[in-house]
Amino acid sequence: MRAMHGPVVRWEVIVAMVVIAAIFTWGQHRARAVGGTSLPERGARSLVWPVQSVLVGAGGATRDVVVAAYRGRSLVTENEELEARVRQLEADRLRMVSYYLENTAMRKKLGWAPLEPAPSVAARVIDWSSGQSRKRVAIEANRQLELGNIVRTEAGLVGRVIEAQGTRGTVMLLNDAESAVAARVLREDGDFGMVSVASEASENRVMLKMVPHSHKADLRVGDVLVSSGDGGVYPQGVPIGFIESVETSAVNVASITAYIRPFADFEHLDYVLVERRGE
Amino acid sequence: MAYLAYLILLVLLTAIERTWPGWLLIHDQGPELVVAAVVSIGLCGGPMAGCFAGLIGALLLGSVESAWLGGTFFAFMTLGTVVGLLRGALLAERAPMAALVTLAAIPVVEVIRLIFAAPPSPAPWVLPVLVAAPYSALLALPIFGLFRAVTGLLAPEP
């Protein structure tokens, strides 16, 4: 019989909630102005992110069981192929170890500093923001995250942590409209430039572009781009992608743009590596 | 007590919406479960509960999405309050009504959020809304059932 009665409205309570919403909005604007996150947002995330973490884990396990049941037969063949591939990679790895030892010994003889890879921790992606211009993910690592941590995959650079909250944080991806990376071409005397998202990007188009600092830049299709370390936001030498095409402006021949296919697969980010900026 | 249950369910639905499995996406778009929840709570609990659901739903979803909260608060709280006010007068407290209201509410909510935070080009916005509205309306049926059960259990009629 509830539907027959008109609702009893306590407007003072509704007004109080509107005031709370206004205060939260004001707090968010204030926090964003200084590059931070407001307290209500942090509280909301600390409620939702753990649940998301559980759901992502449970979803992965369920998917594994379903895939195993559905593709049991082909998985055996796939497993044999992968074992053969692992043996090949293990042989390659042993060869690389001998090169590494050789390289270390030579650097020592030359008096050069040892070249150590940055230590990194694995993190799981628990949230994907799929706005048109805001490309961000939330990650969960097994150590405290810090603002500015570098996020990458084995293949290449992914982005950096822009909001950290304990072991969880938000990562701004390279294809976010606000992202820019100082980069250089991986060649002797390779040119420098800024890499950002290509506004012309679509499903069938590369996602990033590089605008070189010099109008006489020598950019070639197939060139590999790495972070240059300029500005100190990203460390130098992290692979970004390769040049897929180079365009010169029809109205200004000095304007060169290289379109880049990134090494990291931004569409399938499940696990990433997190490095400290200084490491 | 009913409000605490609403809060817990909204947290759960926000997490489910944000981790919706890839194989259940249609054109890379999942359902908007929080909007369906706000509509359901408004229909089951009235304007105050609807407004509360809008406040909490907008805070949870906006925070996780790193979106601007102002437009989200406005859209969700207005939706919850209006649905609650129309309950019993124009909107029957039934599951098909929850689905219909969700179907209509999603474009309205998205337009309001679009006005508050306009993207560089709004054209690609249309397809996700066209997918999300019926998808969410379909899922509004079980969501409404859940909230009706919770309301009936924790906030019985005097």
Tokens of A65: 């069981």
What chain A holds in terms of domains, given with CATH numbers, is 118-279 (2.40.10.350)
Of A5, A8, A55, the CB nearest to B15: A55
Residue B119's pLDDT is 62
The more confident residue out of A187 and B141 is: B141
Of A5, A10, A132, the CB nearest to B119: A132
Is the CATH number of domain B2-17+29-149 1.20.120?
no
Q: What residue spans define the domains of chain B?
A: 2-17+29-149
CB distance A129–B84 less than 8 Å?
A: no
Residue A2's pLDDT is 47
Testing the interface with A: which of B8, B11, B12, B18 to mutate, by most A Cβ within 10 A? B18
Question: Rounded to two decimals, what is the model's pTM?
Answer: 0.74
CB distance B88–A2 less than 8 Å?
A: yes
CA-nearest residue of chain A to B63?
A41
Closest Cα to residue B5, out of B136, B157, B140, B148? Answer: B148
Q: How confident is the model over B21-40, as a mean pLDDT?
A: 88
Residue B157's pLDDT is 54
Half-sphere exposure of A37 (CA within 13 A, CB side): 21
Residue A203's pLDDT is 54
Is residue A56 scored above 60 in pLDDT? Answer: yes
What number is the ipTM of this complex? Answer: 0.86
Testing the interface with A: which of B12, B16, B63 to mutate, by most A Cβ within 10 A? B63
> 3-class SS at B109?
helix
Residues of B in contact with A22 (CB under 8 A): 73
Tokens of A236: 């130098």
Residues of B in contact with A138 (CB under 8 A): 64
Testing the interface with B: which of A51, A53, A178 to mutate, by most B Cβ within 10 A? A51
> Residues B47-61: pLDDT tens digits?
999 999 999 999 999
Phi-psi group of A215: left, alpha or beta (phi > 0 → left; psi -120 to 50 → alpha; rest → beta): alpha
H runs (alpha helix) in B46-89: 47-65, 69-86
CB distance B63–A45 less than 8 Å?
A: yes
Measured distance CA(B129)–CA(B124) in Å, rounded: 9
